[in-house]
Chains A and B, each alone.
Chain A
Amino acid sequence: MSGNKVDIKVVLLGKSYAGKTCLVERYLHERFNGETVPYQNTIGAAFGAKKVDVNGKKIVLGIWDTAGSERYESMSRIYYRNAKAAILCFDLTDKSSFDRIRFWIGELQTHEEACKIYICATKKDIIDADPNTRDVNEKEAQALAKDVMAELYETSSKTGENINELFMAIAQYYLETVKTTEVKEDMIYLNEVKKRLPCSCKST
């Protein structure tokens, strides 16, 4: 999939073992190997792309699944640079992964202001099966999401719950903002023409 064919760059960030790769696997290939294949941490980052249809418009999502290991953090900028959307993943059964989200929020707010943040809670199926395993309070997560004006999605890669919705929301949001920026671009274009006109008059 060539780079110029990608409309939206989406990056997944979060602690290792938060479930980023499984989320992408579910979305791109509609499969879940979490129970059959032993855990494999991502090396660097993996790229995948998917074409989605939003209100009759075809959009290509370019998805970067990054490694969660701490050693990649210093290099993570090359992965989230110019991303339109960031999915910050945390594991509902692991509080420390939720705390890590704040780091990424800070990182994005300083370096990548234009990037829209989506907070994604993973492994919901485990919580559904046994509510005692929940380690992250829903209210707390919602408060954080509200703070940074992000949307919160509770997902399960095993059942597929809320995953399409998450990516759909990203695509839709993008389309909306593109419309407005397109209009802006048009306006600028007109202004430029206006500006240029007197010049050409002068020269003639």
Chain B
Amino acid sequence: MSDLKEAEHQNTSESSDQGEFLEENAPGESENPMLIASDSYENLNYEILDGTSTAQRQTPNTESNETSTGEESNNEEQTETANDVAKKKQEIVPVEEDHDDVNSEHWRSQSKHIFILSEAGKPIYSRHGSEDKLVTIMGVMQALVSFVGDAKDSLRCMIAGDHKFVFLVRDHLLLVGVSSGMDSTHQILLQLTYVYNQVISVLTQSTLCKIFKQRRNYDLRRMLSGAEKFFDNLINLMDSEPGLLLGAVRCLPLDGSVREIIAQSIVQHAKIKDLVFGLIITNNQLIALVRIKKYYLHPMDLHLIMNLVNASESFKTAESWTPLCLPKFDSSGFLQAHISYLDDSCNTCLLLLTVDRESFFTLSDCKSKIKERLLKYNALRAISDSLQKTAYGIQQCGINDLRHFLYKSKSTAQYTSPELEAPYVTQKEKDRLFGLYKYLHHRIHTSGRPLKILFHVGPYETLLGWVTQGFELYAVFGPLVTKTSAIHAVNKLLRWIKREEDRLFILNSVTF
């Protein structure tokens, strides 16, 4: 609690210092972005509203809770029922002795569970264990939600011991996240939204609604067969990749000129009617994105595209032609995607997204020409070089005691961070660091009391979070750093990022 007071104190005492910094041109800022600028929870809040309205359980009571997004007040309300319920749940579990899955220590000790079930309580997906064996526990979840729903309220979260249970009801689906880690309830809700969007990406929202309108007790696993790996991969990604938490993408560090050549190759050779987006990605990083003038890509959609490529081996063997729904772009229909790798080692992937379902061969020709041009200008070489050497180490920033940071440029929805170095090399330490970022992110974005600056002294490191109009910065220092030196260091860091911004960010949005 003392941290919090300190932080708030800090918040006021340092606000003048913050104003001093180049607010109008924050590093990585662009007036001409290609992605939709995103605030961490901005669209999530909107989606919660959206979710309750489709869940048809809205009451004036919950509505007022939503708009104020008073997480805390709501929590208290919920935990009362949550405690009862948690007791119930604990009782229920041991009764099911024959369920090897639920009772196995391995299953119980997983730090994060994600479940998808239908409104009728049919299991669709479970991150751990087989959903078949979890029928009973999913039935309990469904019962909880509909019990609270019966009282014209909606169950959003419960906290039992060190476990958080978060519920999201959308379009006949019930998504449940259970975490014993550092995730806040809001962050789990964001993750559930991602998982829901992944379902939409595979099926489209209209198909999903149609299916359940026809048969309420439909077994959706039939439609999702083969898509489980997308969920698995996405959830793993959310545990390791800060971009999904920040609502931002990471770009592969490249010289501005090389990036220009790559983008121009797409523009020149893929200027085709009905082509909406052309992009090149590698290893969860964006290399180039070209769009038609009217449309922007949302970072959430881009993460789903990266997940699609990342989770599938099958694109590596041949050119693929696949329907793909981008929920933020248009949740009701499919785009058709031409997906192929540009290099033999299958690192650099080209995606051409169109509305014309018949243009495979045209796009296939485009691909060959783009590849030819990239080879001619040595751009593929530059990409693989950049991939091979680590992006940059923290030493390159030249700041004492700064161990790691995440910097997000809000207007471009892109972020950058150095490679993980000692002491964050073991999986345990990496997870702990990510946990610290989640904590910092949560504290700053607490809906009831959003902060601008937070200075937090932990046992092993000192954290500084700073959010302005233009950027979000989360920095991790050694444990002995003072407030003033941290602020000083962060200002220095911002200047360094500014110098490197051409390499670290895509500042120019290229259109067809």
Residues of A within 8 A of B (CB): 1-4, 6, 16, 21, 24-25, 37, 40-48, 65, 67-72, 74-75, 78-79
Contact = CB atoms under 8 A, between A and B. Distances in A.
Interface string B302-345: 00000010001111011111111000000000101101000000
A48 B315 CA distance: 12
Contacts of B322: 43-45, 67
Nearest to B313: A40
A46 B319 contact: yes
B439 interface: no
Chain B interface: which size bin? 20 to 34
A75 B317 contact: no
B221 to A, nearest CB: 10
Given A3-B361, A3-B364, A4-B361, A46 B222 contact: no
A44 B313 contact: no
A70 B364 CA distance: 26
B334 A75 contact: yes
Nearest to A48: B318
B360 A69 contact: no
Contacts of B358: 78
Contacts of B203: 71
B226 A69 contact: yes
Given A2-B365, A75-B334, 9 more contacts: A40-B312, A43-B226, A43-B339, A44-B321, A44-B322, A44-B337, A46-B320, A48-B319, A71-B203
B225 A47 contact: no
Q: Which 8 A-B pairs have the closest CB atoms?
A: A44-B322, A3-B361, A41-B226, A46-B318, A40-B313, A71-B223, A69-B226, A78-B357
B223 A70 contact: yes
Contacts of B324: 44
B454 interface: no
Interface in B337-369: 337, 339, 357-358, 360-362, 364-365
Given A2-B361, A75-B323, A43 B225 contact: no
Contact of B318 (A3, A47, A70): A47
Contacts of A44: 320-324, 337
B202 interface: yes
A46 B341 CA distance: 13
B318 A16 contact: no
A43 B360 contact: no
Contacts of A74: 207
B357 A46 contact: no
Nearest to A3: B361
A70 B314 contact: no
Q: Which has the most chain A C-beta neighbours within 10 Å: B225, B308, B312, B358?
A: B225
B223 A47 contact: no
Given A44-B322, A65-B318, A75-B323, A37 B222 contact: no
B224 interface: yes
Contacts of A6: 361
A112 B361 CA distance: 21
A203 to B, nearest CB: 40
Contact of B225 (A4, A16, A46): A16
Nearest to A73: B223
B225 A70 contact: yes
Contacts of B222: 70
B344 to A, nearest CB: 14
Contact of A37 (B225, B313, B334): B313
A38 B111 CA distance: 27
A77 to B, nearest CB: 9
B202 A71 contact: yes
B364 A25 contact: no
Nearest to B323: A75
A25 B313 CA distance: 14
